[in-house]
Amino acid sequence: MEKTRAVITGVGGFVPEYILDNEELSRMVDTTDEWIMTRIGVKERRILTEEGLGTSYMAAKAAQQLLEKTGVNPQEIECVIVTTSTPDYHFPSTASLVIGELGLKNAFAYDLQAACCGFLYAMDTAAALVESGRYKKVMVIGADKMSSMVDYTDRATCPIFGDGAAAVLVEPTTENIGWMDSYLRTDGQGLPYLCMKAGGSVCPPSHFTVDNRMHYLHQEGRTVFKFAVTNMSDVSALIAERNGLDKGNIAWVIPHQANVRIIEAVAHRLELSMDKVMMNIQHFGNTSAATLPLALWENEKLLKKGDNLIFTAFGAGFTWGAAYMKWGYDGSPE
């Protein structure tokens, strides 16, 4: 019997209109464009400024575009996985809000939390659902409104992050394309270095937590940086090696967009020039779970059927991983 693989058959994306550039940021905290460009590599980021709008708004916009581009009947979508660290609410899930917004009647939906690694974990999960034969149309959405938890008085973290969302459709194929291999890990050591200290069940919101600014993203940048460089580089090399991939046959590397120096380290390890690396950090910053699908969305026209792609990411937890995908179609269907 032919093997069923899971392949991405379309991409949609959404970023808010408002641009927060380094010039404006330099008026908010003690920083400079030069420092941010040298140490991080972000020039500007998009911010969802409209009051009352959250992650589900961006996720639904991205999903809507995906449905329009692919022409898929929305009522054929069977499952929607939203991966985010910035859900609209603790509960219900952001995915349930997206389903409601899109008017999907024949699908179930849930959120998957793996911080900046969310898209990799969600894709691996969606691929398993499709490969099993039980589901034929699964939507994966990476979406984060990072501005909702960034402390805009903390100059070490606020230049990094931005808001955005992107969605992919995952369908079965018997061709030798799609989600080929993955290597995902979580170690449980990351809490002190990257977290939101309050607001969960350990430390519910109180006057104390608000007064002590405990509802913002807390990051010990240097430690996270070291773990990210090592782990993303190691697992990218591992995935490449065990699939016979090297600089001669890798079309693109799609790394999580946290810091241009981390991305360069991954490229160096794979002996690839930077023109083989998809980047959106300059204009979107770190959009957490959205960085990888947004990179696909922006570069869709460049992709060709059969292209060998390596994804890699690292995030809170710590979570990290890499995956190998053979792209499923030529260019943009638009």
Could you list the residues that contact ligand UT7 (CB under 6 A)?
31, 35-36, 39-40, 116, 155-156, 159, 221-222, 224-225, 228, 258-259, 262, 286, 314-315
Which residue's entry shows tokens 């894709």? 123
Residue 116 appears among annotated catalytic residues: yes
In the bound state with ligand UT7, the residue whose beta carbon lies nearer, of 135 and 284, is 284
In the bound state with ligand UT7, the residue whose beta carbon lies nearer, of 222 and 268, is 222
In angstroms, give the least distance from the CB of 169 to ligand UT7. 26
What are the respective helix, strand and coil percentages of the chain, to the nearest 5?
35, 25, 40
- Is the CB of residue 293 less than 8 Å from the CB of residue 307? no
In angstroms, give the least distance from the CB of 76 to ligand UT7. 34
Closest CA to 99 of 81, 87, 118, 125: 81
- Is the CB of residue 288 less than 8 Å from the CB of residue 85? yes
**Which helix (H) or strand (E) covers residue 179, if one does?**
strand 178-186
| Candidates 231, 256, 259, 280; catalytic one | 256
Give Cα separations from 16 to 45, 82, 142, 288 (angstroms).
Answer: 9, 18, 15, 15
| Candidates 231, 259, 286, 308; catalytic one | 286
In angstroms, give the least distance from the CB of 221 to ligand UT7. 3
Q: Report the residue number whose CB is nearest to ligand UT7.
A: 221
In the bound state with ligand UT7, the residue whose beta carbon lies nearer, of 128 and 156, is 156
Alpha-helical regions (H) of 132-204 = none
In the bound state with ligand UT7, the residue whose beta carbon lies nearer, of 37 and 251, is 37
Residue 268 appears among annotated catalytic residues: no
In angstroms, give the least distance from the CB of 209 to ligand UT7. 22
- CA 42/CA 266 separation, integer angstroms: 18
Residue 243 appears among annotated catalytic residues: no
- By annotation, the residues acting in catalysis are 116, 256, 286
